[in-house]
Amino acid sequence: MYYFHIHSSDGTVVDDEGEEFADMAAVREEAVTAVRELVADGIRSGKGPNGRELRVAADAGKLVLSLPFRDV
């Protein structure tokens, strides 16, 4: 299971459900898609990336991917 947490200067929105993926390539693809959607939603509501970051953790809580919104 992989958990997609959104981190910002205001705190972290924690993903309690998680999702299973076949490999890290699939995790990264989903992370990029998710960040693009979040950035697009933010732009539509007048907000930019604002230093947010998607942090993906594996089952044991180990950080496996960090994706700053500004990089997508």
pLDDT bracket for residue 10 (50, 70, 90): confident
In angstroms, the CA 40 to CA 17 distance is 23
Residues in the chain: 72
Percent of the residues in the chain that have a pLDDT greater than 70, as a whole number = 97
The set of long-range contacts for 22-31, using a CB threshold of 8 Å and a minimum separation of 24, is: 24/64, 24/65, 27/2, 27/56, 27/64, 27/65, 28/65, 28/67, 30/4, 31/4, 31/56, 31/65, 31/67
Report how far residue 57's alpha carbon sits from residue 60's, in angstroms, rounded to the nearest whole number.
8
Q: Which of the four pLDDT bands, split at 50, 70 and 90, describes residue 49?
A: low
Each residue of 15-41: pLDDT tens digit?
999 999 999 999 999 999 999 998 888
pTM greater than 0.75 (yes/no) = yes
Average pLDDT over residues 4-15: 93
